[in-house]
Amino acid sequence: MRASRPTLALLLLLAGCAKAGLTCTTTETACGQVCANLQVDPNHCGGCAVACPTGFVCSAGGCACPAGLSACAQRCLDLATDSNACGACDHPCAAGQSCSAGACGP
């Protein structure tokens, strides 16, 4: 049995494929002239044209730092080794010290 044109159009719309003449997969949404997976695309994270900051990844539709890094003022930092954010955001080591295992030391 063939689907009627209105039924086919509705199915394509529900699949997120009817915009801009694109044929997107069922996990993608038409965002302008591209198909994007809103769950993992850092340029369309959670919604079309919602870009993650540089260094962030899109995970489950939200921007997050890659594993092992922490978000500090729109940057992803390694709090275990970053001398400007040692153990916590905005916790710099003193001059001449370095950060190891999240603690400042000589």
46-75 per-position pLDDT tens digit: 999 999 999 999 999 999 999 999 999 889
Predicted pLDDT at 53 = 94
The answer to whether 8 touches 19, Cβ cutoff 8 Å, is no
Q: Rounded distance, CA 77 to CA 89, Å?
A: 8
pLDDT digits 0-9 by tens, 3-48 = 444 443 434 444 444 444 778 999 999 998 999 999 999 999 999 9
**Does 1 score more than 80 pLDDT?**
no
- Is the pTM above the cut of 0.85? no
> Which has more pLDDT, 11 or 90?
90
